[in-house]
Amino acid sequence: MIVRLAISLVLLAGCDRGDRVAPEGSVSTNQIVRLSTPVEEDNDPRATVRLQPLTMTDLDREGLLGAGCAFSVDDRVLLVAVGSNAIVRLQDEIRHLVHSAPIGPTGGFFEDRHLSISVGRTDEEGVASAEGMRWPGRITVTNRRAEIEAAQAGAWTCGA
């Protein structure tokens, strides 16, 4: 009888207690529901080719401040290449790219396992700026696995 009473009290004590703190290693029903509810994700396949702006902090952290080349749209820097390193930001993540051809004033080609990026100037006439020479340009980003491509017009700048 005492054993049954003790078991009943233990079972009652373990019944739904809402969000109150549970003993270590156990969870409440509300916690299970919250954890098992799927998080809304951005399943837009175009996001895999939509470049996001790089910040000065990104460039400093990655060691890419200084003379090099960059592609920008409306003064938002989308790709930077310095020496043998190039970076972009995609889906809130910095991606390092390999040059698949030499980069310079006419443009460049970059890639990683999933992406292929080509940048080129669209006009021979450039203007001098504080960063170097600046030309009208175009960037094309291709996700080779998903076979999705996006292109943007902007400016290609190469430092002195």
Report the length, in residues, of the chain. 160
pLDDT tens, position by position, 79-91: 999 888 899 999 9
The residue segments making up the domain with residue 93 are: 45-158
- Distance from the Cα of residue 63 to its chain's centroid: 18
78 shares a domain with 20: no
Structure tokens at 118: 């080509």
With H, G, I as helix, E, B as strand and everything else as coil, classify residue 76. Answer: strand
Number of domains comprising the chain: 2
Question: Could you read off the pLDDT of 83-136 as tens digits, one per residue?
Answer: 888 999 999 999 999 998 889 999 999 999 989 999 999 999 999 988 889 999
Q: Are 29 and 54 contained in the same domain?
A: no
Q: Is the domain of 103 the same as that of 127?
A: yes
User: Are 31 and 58 contained in the same domain?
Assistant: no
Whether residue 22 is found in the same domain as residue 52: no
Are 62 and 132 contained in the same domain? yes
Residue 26 sits in the same domain as residue 89? no
pLDDT tens profile 8-52: 433 444 444 444 554 566 667 766 666 666 555 456 778 888 999
Residue 56 sits in the same domain as residue 95: yes
Contacts of 32 (CB under 8 A, 6+ apart): none
- Position 31 scores a pLDDT of 64
Residue (of 160, 158, 137, 140) closest to 150 by Cα position: 140
From residue 35, alpha-carbon distances to 39, 41, 47 in Å are: 9, 15, 26
Do 120 and 74 lie in a common domain?
Answer: yes
151: enclosing H helix or E strand: strand 148-158
Give me the helices (H) in the chain, please: 2-13, 29-36, 56-61
Answer yes or no: do 8 and 25 share one domain.
yes
**List of residues 6+ apart from 118 with CB closer than 8 A:** 107, 108, 109, 110, 139, 140
Residues 69 and 136 in one domain: yes
Q: If you write DSSP's letter for every residue of 13-55 in order, what string do you get? A: HTS--TTSPPPTT---HHHHHHHHSPPP----GGGGG-EE---
Same domain, 25 and 53: no
